Structure 1
Amino acid sequence: MEILVIGGNRYFGKRLTGRLLDSGHRVTVLNRGSSPTPAGTIPLVADRNDEKALEKALGDRTFDVVVDQVCYTPRQAEIARRVFAGRTRRYVMTSTVEVYEYEDSAVPVAEEVLDLAGVTVDPDLPWEDPEFLESHYGEGKRQAEAVFAAGSDFAWASVRVAHVLGGTDDFTGRVEHYARRIRAGEPIAVPVANRPATYVYVEEIAAFLAWAVEAEFTGPVNAHSHGPLTTAEICAEIEEMVGGRTVFQEVEVGEVSPFSFARSYVMSNSRAESLGYHFPHSSEWRRKALSETLAVSGRAA
């Protein structure tokens, strides 16, 4: 198949690209040109926020599937909906568990909990402001999904990715945050009611996205391993690796540590499994994932 990956240069995007190449697909990668595209891919350079530049870079190319790794806002979604009309038969958007950030459910949340038809889309918000975008990450993804759900000329799917763990190239710094505090015995701020969350191993989400490229489902699908994790479980693993002591500090208000959640929006992966994909249990990869990121022989030693 002819596949376009938008923004497939880092973390699980590059793993996805590698899997697509290994499967024999012809892969084009579009980015702003700030870093080289993976070996074996066809590079295209454009700012995806610039509609004319994007159209010029694409020219008359058409694709079987477009995988958009960096669609964060309704404005970007609207550009994609226009530009890829007639250029692809299927569009797969990488979304996030954070679309459920307002949920607080005693049971795992399924895709239909979020009514995309009821999401207010406002492309005129200051989406170009990095601070605004970061603080409205879930909202931006919600609105982007709503743009596609309202209708397009191509089949559309979104993969709502759980919190990702693993890899020596985890750039988030979240795992190291815990390692530093545990090693030093410093307090780790958590909500008074600290809820579990759903996670996925970095290699697993790459595998799922590669599977989704070849599948035919439409609409949103949750992607995560079985077995939600708590902050305490993650910290216990890290403590065994780096030494030190885990000290939790419960806070009523204010900023908490990265893997701490006052609301419960653990996802259900029943739809993905009914479509034919089987996820592992987090216990199968949790220690390996944390070890990779901590790089015990280096940063966490």
Structure 2
Amino acid sequence: MLIRRNQSQSWLPGISLVVLLLTLLVTLTKGTAPIPPIDVINVLLAKLGLTDSDILATPTGIILWEIRWPRVALAVLAGSTLAISGACYQTLFRNPLADPFILGVSSGAALGAAVAITFWQGAYLTLSAFVGSAVAVAVVYFLGRQDEGADSQQILLAGVAFGSMLSALLSCIMAVFSQQIHLIVFWLMGSLASPVQSLPAVAAVVCFGMAAILFFARDLDLVALGEETAHHLGVNLPLVRLVILGATTLITGAVVSVTGIIGFIGLVVPHMVRNVAGPEHVRLLPLSAVWGATLLLWADSLTRMFTSLVSIPVGVVTALFGGPFFLYILYTSRTGR
């Protein structure tokens, strides 16, 4: 049985990448104007300089590369970021219900976006949302610190309390400036429909943050055994917490500032991957990134496959599927099954 499990795990990374690539191909073919897979492949090869580039100037090339590809790339960035962040939070807080927004990232980003929409007509929205998320987590980390260092449970409680306060401020803004409420609500639902010009910069930030997280993957394995055990095994817990929380905040804030609030990816994907691939973070984190991207791509494709669903933000779709999974985790945690 052990041999079979190890053999299946050795094939898992390759299978996961194949599924992601096939999902990318299928996603690029879907939309109001269906495009054959062979045309998608020809456009991609032309962009890489492997075939004649004339196809890039055709309507098919323009639709694929200037409209659909930025949206697909944003979905890959967002899905992988939220999944990796969720895996890290669940390990640090030893809480199966922890997700990337538990430290006030979503509340801070939402408040920053609401301020930009209300007072600056949407200008500086991405910057305001990112600053809001970063400030929120910095305050939460400060409130969660103790004399001997940061405590995971104190940080968790501080995140819940401060996030609730920021949500109350957001409600006040929406009540006072009701003429902007529809724009704020749409942003809160999460969407991939409007990739920004700063997408390469967001990708660079995400790659930097993920590299920092992967560097501490072995330390996360020890933290998962318990903080006392990790300390006796030589793990510098304050440093690991600071780096992991800082990196996850950086990448999650960067993505959320562009997409809005997309929930449950960071909750669902790490659980699915951990059950199949095991708890080792060297394997768990990359696979979570791949399947987070895949799941978000399928959720976004669902809204574009049917004309009646085009106006529904992808955050609504992930919530519809993630909500029942959240309740399942809550039930199994309570019953111990």
Between structure 1 and structure 2, the one with the greater Rg is 2
Q: Report the structure, 1 or 2, having the larger strand content.
A: 1
Give the structure, 1 or 2, with the largest relative contact order (CA under 8 Å, sep 6 or more).
2
Going by fraction, where is helix more abundant, 1 or 2? 2
Instruction: Give TM-score, length-normalised by structure 2.
Output: 0.28
Structure-1-length-normalised TM-score: 0.31
